[in-house]
């Protein structure tokens, strides 16, 4: 199992699989070369009909990871290594010709983005945007398409008048709801939601989250939900992956991760969540996230880790399965965790050894 084949997903119950994905920003400016290793070896999968959350602080690489999965790569960002496989594509996402990639967009893979402020074209009415995004996928006549859109909006309990409106005439929450409707119209296999509720106030956030949950289970799509807000993860996601400095440090069922965080970073994140009635003061983690152009040797968290050991300084822990559906990359969590081969596929090696 040393070489992951670059073909369709390994497991048919998965919608998305990534294998040792690395995406770096390579820049050359005024004679200075820099390579920012924003996504540095992520292997994970998303199952059908599940909501997979990705959490982590800013600049941990979550957004870059999203871009990498969605083929939204523009220079200076480049895919340096690894594969992205979807259940609805034969072969690697990046092996496809651009025209085919364009064809799967929205029909199989859609997005809900942050900043509902600006994601809709300000000089186009909403119904035109629906047309731009979805018409060519539905293979319906103009009139039937309009009907389908109206029906869809009704199902999501959105007023039909919004179709004739311009984006600036709608409130932020309404715009985000329109985006959800837009993203689910073609019933895609997977929806990527990047901080969809961050710009909204708490009351609206609750409604939008409820809508997201409904649509996801109602239409049976899988979802990748990216946000730094752990409470949202607790509310919405089935499984949760914690990212730090371009790598996944822990991943498991949301309930498990909350109840039993095995990585010191995760533990710290969860402990810092406020609980009503708990007056204990909280400690901040010392230091700041590493510079991804020059990450620390060994485990990237070791400079700030309260449990750091000698081995953490030189070796990078591989993401290892330590309990059912629960993976961790930390030497302190268990002796089963072995060093990862930084250039290769560390997980494969460890799985063999762990058996």
Partner 1 sequence: MRSYVIYVGKRVLQFALVVFVGISITFLITHLTPIDPVEHSVAQVSAFGFSSPESIELLRQSLRELYGVGDNLWEEYLIFWQRLAMLDFGPSLSAFPTPVSELIGRAIPWTIGLLTVSTILSWFIGNVIGGLAGYYNRNRILRIIGMIMMGLHPVPYYIVAFVLLIVFTFMLPILPSSGGYEMNMNPGWTFQFFGSVLLHSILPAFSLILVGVGSWFMGMRALVSNIVTDDYVTYASLAGVPERRLVTSYVMRNAFLPQITGLAMSIGAIFNGAVITEQVFGYPGIGRLLVEAVHAADYSLVLGITSIAIIAVSAAVFIIDIIYPLIDPRVQVSQ
Partner 2 sequence: MIAVFRDLFRYNGEFAIGFMIMVIILGIAAASFFSPYEPIDSYLVALDAPPSTEYLFGTNSRGQDIFWQLTFAIRNTLAFGFIVALISRILSLAIGLVSGYVGGAVDRILMSINDTFIVIPLFPLLVLLYFVLRDDMTWFVLALVMAGLGWAYDARLIRSVMISLRTREFTNTSVFSGMSMPSIVTQEHLPYVLPIVFSTFMNNMNWSIGLEVTLAVLGFTDVDTPTIGGMIFWANQHSAMVSGIWWWYFFPTLFVTLTFIGLFLLSISMNEYIDPRSRLDRMGNS
Q: Rule CB under 8 A: choose which of 119, 140, 234, 293 binds partner 1.
A: 119
With CB cut-offs between 5 and 8 Å by kind, which of partner 2, partner 1, none does residue 168 bind?
Answer: partner 1
Q: Rule CB under 8 A: choose which of 52, 65, 86, 106 binds partner 1.
A: 106
Structural contact between residues 317 and 299, judged by C-beta atoms closer than 8 angstroms: yes
DSSP secondary structure letter of residue 13: T
Q: Which of 96, 104, 87 is nearest to 8 (CA)?
A: 87
**Measured from the CB atom, is 76 or 344 closer to partner 1?**
76
Positions in 26-55 near partner 2 (CB under 8 A) = 27-31
Structural contact between residues 20 and 79, judged by C-beta atoms closer than 8 angstroms: no
Torsion of CA 155, 162, 139, 142, to 10 degrees: 120
Which helix H or strand E contains 148, and what residues bound it? helix 142-155
Q: Residue 228 is encoded by which pair of tokens? A: 């730094």
Query: Which part of the chain contacts partner 1 (CB under 8 A), choosing from 18-26, 102-110, 141-149, 288-296?
Result: 102-110
**Measured from the CB atom, is 24 or 108 closer to partner 1?**
108
With CB cut-offs between 5 and 8 Å by kind, which of partner 1, partner 2, none does residue 123 bind?
Answer: partner 1
Q: Is 111 in the site for partner 1 (CB under 8 A)?
A: yes
Instruction: Report whether the peptide linkage leading into residue 45 is cis, meaning its omega lies within 30 degrees of zero.
Output: no
Q: Is 6 in the site for partner 1 (CB under 8 A)?
A: no
Least distance in angstroms from the C-beta of 293 to partner 2: 13
Q: Is 75 in the site for partner 2 (CB under 8 A)?
A: yes
The CA distance from 125 to 77, in Å, is 33
Positions in 57-76 near partner 1 (CB under 8 A) = 70, 72
Least distance in angstroms from the C-beta of 214 to partner 1: 22
Q: Rule CB under 8 A: choose which of 18, 43, 85, 110 binds partner 1.
A: 110
With CB cut-offs between 5 and 8 Å by kind, which of partner 2, partner 1, none does residue 284 bind?
Answer: none
Rg (the chain; Cα; Å): 21
**Measured from the CB atom, is 112 or 330 closer to partner 1?**
112
Q: Is 142 in the site for partner 2 (CB under 8 A)?
A: no
DSSP secondary structure letter of residue 197: T
Q: Where are the beta strands (DSSP E) in the chain?
A: 14-29, 32-47, 51-55, 77-86, 109-112, 190-194, 222-226, 239-244, 247-253, 320-323, 326-328
The CA distance from 292 to 5, in Å, is 29
Number of residues located near partner 1, criterion CB under 8 A: 26
Contacts of residue 259, defined as CB under 8 A and 6 or more positions apart, other chains included, come to: none
Quick note: the x/- pattern for partner 1 over 160-199, rule CB under 8 A, is ------x-x-------------------------------
User: Which residues here bind partner 1, judged by CB under 8 A?
Assistant: 70, 72, 101-106, 110-111, 113, 115, 117-124, 128, 132-133, 136, 166, 168
User: Which residues here bind partner 2, judged by CB under 8 A?
Assistant: 27-31, 74-76
């Amino acid at each position: 199992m040393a070489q992951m084949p670059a073909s369709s997903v390994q497991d048919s119950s998965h919608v998305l699989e990534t294998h040792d994905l690395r995406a770096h920003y390579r820049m050359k400016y005024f004679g200075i070369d820099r390579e920012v290793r924003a996504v540095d070896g992520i292997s994970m999968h998303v199952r059908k009909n599940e909501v997979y959350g990705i959490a982590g602080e800013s600049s941990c690489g979550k957004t870059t990871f999203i871009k990498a999965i969605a083929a939204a790569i523009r220079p200076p960002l480049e895919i340096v290594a690894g594969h992205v496989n979807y259940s609805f594509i034969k072969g690697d996402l990046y092996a496809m010709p651009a025209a085919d990639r364009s064809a799967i967009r929205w029909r199989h893979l859609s997005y809900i983005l942050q900043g509902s402020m600006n994601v809709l074209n300000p000089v186009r009415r909403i119904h035109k945007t629906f047309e731009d995004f979805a018409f060519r996928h539905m293979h319906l006549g103009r009139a039937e398409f309009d009907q389908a859109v109206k029906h869809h909006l009704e199902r999501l309990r959105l007023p039909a008048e919004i179709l004739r409106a311009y984006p600036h005439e709608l409130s932020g929450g309404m715009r985000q709801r329109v985006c959800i409707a837009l993203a689910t119209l073609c019933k895609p296999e997977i929806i990527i939601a990047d901080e969809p509720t961050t710009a909204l106030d708490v009351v609206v956030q609750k409604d939008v989250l409820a809508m997201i949950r409904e649509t996801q289970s109602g239409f049976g799509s899988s979802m990748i939900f990216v946000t730094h807000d752990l409470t949202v993860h607790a509310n919405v996601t089935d499984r949760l992956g914690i990212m730090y400095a371009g790598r996944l440090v822990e991943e498991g069922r949301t309930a498990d991760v909350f109840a039993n965080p095995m990585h010191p970073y995760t533990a710290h994140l969860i402990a810092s969540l406020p609980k009503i009635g708990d007056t204990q003061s909280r400690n901040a983690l010392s230091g700041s996230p590493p510079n991804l152009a020059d990450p620390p040797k060994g485990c990237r968290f070791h400079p700030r880790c309260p449990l750091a050991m000698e081995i953490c300084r030189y070796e990078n822990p591989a993401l290892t399965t330590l309990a059912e559906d629960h993976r961790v990359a930390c030497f302190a969590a268990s002796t089963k965790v072995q060093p990862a081969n930084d250039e290769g596929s560390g997980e494969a090696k460890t799985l063999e050894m762990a058996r």
